[in-house]
Amino acid sequence: MVNYFFDTYAIIELLKHNPAYKAYEDYPLITTILHKIELSWWGLLKYNQEFANILLQSIVHTQEITNDVIRDAILFRQQFKKRDLSYADSIGYAFARRHDLLFLTGDRQFKDLPGVEYVE
């Protein structure tokens, strides 16, 4: 069975009930603390502090970011420097690759990369 790493974009689309993401609703939500932070920031900006707090509380489990993942992410970010990728996105992608997960995103900067499930 395939599992996915949910980047912030994918989690937001799930929250917005985007029909294109319906197929991913029953998969375990695998993400990192950095994506939880980005999600909470989005909740605060889009809605309010109460909603941001609900998002913080709702993602109970996040994956540890190891030194190996950080090293892979830095090299990945350097390799694709022209794409101006965020640290969180680079770490998410590196985490997914290192743990044999598909990186689930709607971020066009990842569309053509291996190990990505791109959903518009």
Instruction: Kindly tell me if the per-residue pLDDT of 1 is higher than 90.
Output: no
pLDDT at 60: 85
Integer Cα distance of 38 and 35 in angstroms = 5
pLDDT tens digit string along 81-104?
999 999 999 999 999 999 999 999
pLDDT tens digit string along 13-72?
999 999 999 999 999 999 999 999 999 999 999 999 999 999 999 998 999 999 999 999
pLDDT at 73: 98
pLDDT at 6: 98
CATH number, position 13: 3.40.50.1010
Closest CA to 12 of 59, 49, 77: 59
Which helix (H) or strand (E) segment holds residue 88: the answer is helix 87-98
- Domain count within the chain: 1
- CB-based contact 19:11 (threshold 8 Å): no
Integer Cα distance of 98 and 100 in angstroms = 6
- The boundaries of the domain holding residue 66 are 4-118
Please give the order of strands across the beta sheet that includes 4-6: 4-6, 102-105, 116-118
